[in-house]
């Protein structure tokens, strides 16, 4: 977790303290902040809710690069020296809000405020390491284990000491797309997790974090 995300004042106040001009966007589930190939002219900081970064292959297969939590920045490719295009699509997983900062404004603040620049660069390094872990998860882990890890990531917005966390509304179709499998497989795994006492769900999903973390230490059967 970055210094920005962990700041007692929160990312919004942290950005305001840097003197950044910004505006807040409100998105509904499945709305996009930007799409692969768009001109990269701004950077975002998620305030509430969850979002995801995805890419699409030439054959139309979609893959999730990483999940975004409150306090996460995304769209940092806009800070490149030369104008670039978006390298992924950023989509709201559930209703969320984010701060939008123009490329010029963000670069100005980084040049003028060295403390802000240092913390932001630290964040980028932390995010890069987390993205690598997400890619390793996609490549080497079974779809069942990927689902367990995704549920834990979605539960991270709760209090650290909570034993049981209610995650934001999310469909099985969205979970299937996020882990690269089918809705029927997600339904099967969810029923298995419930029978094992790892989750409860009806309209919303309750994650038993200690139990799910413990079982992730064991190897799920390959699927």
Query: Mind listing the pLDDT tens digit for each residue in 73-82?
Result: 999 999 988 8
Query: Mind listing the pLDDT tens digit for each residue in 115-153?
Result: 888 888 888 888 888 778 777 777 778 889 889 988 988
CATH number of the domain located at residue range(s) 3-138 in this protein:
2.60.120.10
pTM confidence score: 0.73
Query: Mind listing the pLDDT tens digit for each residue in 158-186?
Result: 555 566 688 878 889 888 888 888 999 99
* 3 state SS for the chain: CCHHHHCCCHHHHHHHHCCCCCEEEEECCCCEEECCCCECCEEEEEEECCEEEEEECCCCCEEEEEEECCCCEECHHHHCCCCCECCCEEEECCCEEEEEEEHHHHHHHHHHCHHHHHHHHHHHHHHHHHHHHHHHHHHHCCHHHHHHHHHHHHHCCCCCCCCEEECCCCCHHHHHHHHCCCHHHHHHHHHHHHHCCCEEECCCEEEEHHHHHHHHCCCCCCC
Q: Is domain 142-216 classified as CATH 1.10.3720.10?
A: no
Domain boundaries, the chain: 3-138, 142-216
């Amino acid at each position: 977790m970055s210094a920005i995300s962990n700041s007692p004042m929160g990312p919004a106040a942290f950005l305001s303290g840097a003197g950044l001009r910004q505006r807040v966007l409100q998105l509904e589930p499945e709305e996009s902040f930007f799409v692969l190939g768009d001109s990269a002219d701004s950077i975002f900081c998620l305030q509430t809710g969850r979002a995801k970064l995805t890419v699409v292959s030439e054959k139309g297969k979609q893959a999730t690069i990483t999940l975004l939590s409150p306090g996460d920045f995304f769209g940092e490719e806009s800070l490149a020296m030369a104008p670039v295009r978006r390298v992924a699509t950023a989509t709201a997983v559930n209703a969320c809000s984010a701060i939008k900062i123009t490329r010029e404004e963000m670069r100005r603040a980084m040049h003028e405020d060295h403390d802000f620049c240092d913390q932001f660069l630290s964040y980028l390094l932390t995010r890069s390491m987390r993205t690598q872990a997400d890619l390793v998860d996609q490549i080497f882990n079974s779809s069942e284990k990927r689902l367990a890890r995704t549920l834990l990531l979605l539960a991270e917005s709760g209090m650290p000491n909570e034993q049981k966390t209610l995650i934001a509304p999310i469909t099985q179709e969205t979970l299937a797309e996020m882990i690269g499998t089918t809705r029927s497989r997600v339904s099967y795994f969810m029923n298995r997790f419930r029978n094992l006492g790892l989750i409860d769900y009806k309209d919303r999903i309750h994650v038993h974090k200690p139990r799910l973390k413990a079982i992730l230490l064991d190897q799920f059967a390959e699927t």
